[in-house]
Amino acid sequence: MAVNAEELEYVLNAVLRKKKGIRFKQLSLVSCKNIISLMDTSGNGKLEFDEFKVFWDKLKTWIDLFLQFDADKSGTMSSYELRTALRAAGFQLSSHLLQLIVLRYADEDLQLGFDDFLNCLVRLENASRVFQALSTKNKDFIHLNINEFITLTMNI
């Protein structure tokens, strides 16, 4: 059995609405499509049961990170809290990259809700996975032509 983005959206929203400590309105369909893009190893545009189990473990970890690093227990994450949460998730990001992430995902008060935090982690995981798959001997660089680059960025 496999779930598509709409079904995933329904399931995740039902679960996350019950989670205490997270200020949560609704996980968007775009978020669910991003999740499927990250986790769909079979390439069918859906999450198979085994893929969903792997994602579920990631989601539980990400929820725990969000709750742990929401230091003021506001239900949102500040840019400072985000930096420490991303570091704990294994992402050592430059100040410039963190600033770009905050500009993309934070609201006007520089706060991220859980949906934004989840989208950020999904995109970072996907970008890291793609980069690692393409890197060879030199782990810090990859070489792409324009078509390869555009194809990759469309999938991240």
pLDDT in tens, 97-142: 999 999 999 999 999 999 999 999 999 998 888 777 777 766 777 7
Closest CA to 32 of 62, 55, 57: 55
Domain count, the chain: 1
- 67 confidence band (pLDDT: 50, 70, 90): very high
Output the domain CATH number for residue 94: 1.10.238.10
Q: Evaluate whether 24 touches 115 at the Cβ level (below 8 Å).
A: yes
In terms of Cβ atoms closer than 10 Å to its own Cβ (0-12, 13-18, 19+), residue 121 is buried
User: Would you state the pLDDT for residue 95?
Assistant: 93
Q: Cα dist. 85→40, 65, 66, 81, 94 in Å?
A: 25, 6, 7, 6, 14
User: Would you state the pLDDT for residue 62?
Assistant: 93
- 56 confidence band (pLDDT: 50, 70, 90): very high
Q: Which residue has the higher pLDDT, 156 or 8?
A: 8
Q: Which residue has the higher pLDDT, 155 or 6?
A: 6
DSSP state at residue 93: -
pLDDT for 54 beyond 70: yes
pLDDT for 38 beyond 70: yes
- 155 confidence band (pLDDT: 50, 70, 90): low
- Structural domain that includes position 73: 2-155
**Other C-beta atoms lying within 10 Å of the C-beta of residue 106:** 20
pTM of the model: 0.85
User: Would you state the pLDDT for residue 138?
Assistant: 67
User: Would you state the pLDDT for residue 156?
Assistant: 58
Q: Which amino acid is at 86?
A: L
Mean pLDDT within 38-61: 91
